[in-house]
Amino acid sequence: KGQLWTGTEMADYVVPRALQLEEIPGIVAEYVKGARLAKEAGFDGVEIHNANGYLLDQFLRSGTNTREDGYGNSLAARARLTLEVANAVISIWGSDRVGIRLSPGGVFNDMSDANPAETFGYLLRELSKLELAYAHVTRVTAQDIAHGAKDGVGPKELRKDFKGVLITAGGFDRAQAEQAIAEGWADAIAYGVPFLSNPDLPHRLQENLALNTPDESTFYASGAKGYTDYPAAK
């Protein structure tokens, strides 16, 4: 199950098929190509998207990976593609310019895992060995729980498994962000939706100013409305 924004509407995914073994090196090569193009375009680094039910997340999670070969018959095998991609992207950028995003408690795109603490703990320990710039681990939000997620495994529980910089996201207000950093289970907090509705978000957070209310009807729309018309703080 899952849906994709087509540019005009949300559409159901087609039924997927398992990749053939001989196709997998080509997938890794696509990540290398993307990393190389990002570097040529002048970016400062790249984040590997291993979250939200996309391909690497599908390989990692026991709820979607039913393979019986070297990419799915054990936890190490399910994590194999992620680690291959990470090493390949590092070969282009260097480890200090590569991050990764994980959503251990997420259920978007019909994702599930029998033991997310074990799965993501293992992966983060392996990623620690690569000395990445950071791991971006999302927390479960109230919206996630409304869609069936369990509030149990997130950055707070997985902090011990990753030895580098850990960034988290997921509906943090200013006080919650400060608390997470003070308690030591996050080194930085990332924001998504608040940046859409607050062009001056860093200033508002720094000065503890009220935030604009986002208009969700414009999130997947074209045109300027919802992108350039939110007011800055006075």
Active site residues: 54
Q: 158-162 long-range CB contacts below 8 Å, 24 or more apart? A: 158/104, 158/117, 158/120, 158/121, 158/124, 159/184, 159/185, 159/186, 161/120, 161/121, 161/122, 161/124, 161/125, 161/128, 162/124, 162/125, 162/127, 162/128, 162/135, 162/137
Taking CA atoms, 137 is separated from 40, 108, 129, 186, 189, in Å, by 27, 15, 17, 9, 10
Distance of CA 40 to the CA centre of its chain: 23
Taking CA atoms, 198 is separated from 46, 172, 234, in Å, by 24, 14, 12
Q: Which two tokens stand for residue 11?
A: 């559409």
Phi, psi of 230 (to 5 degrees): -80, 135
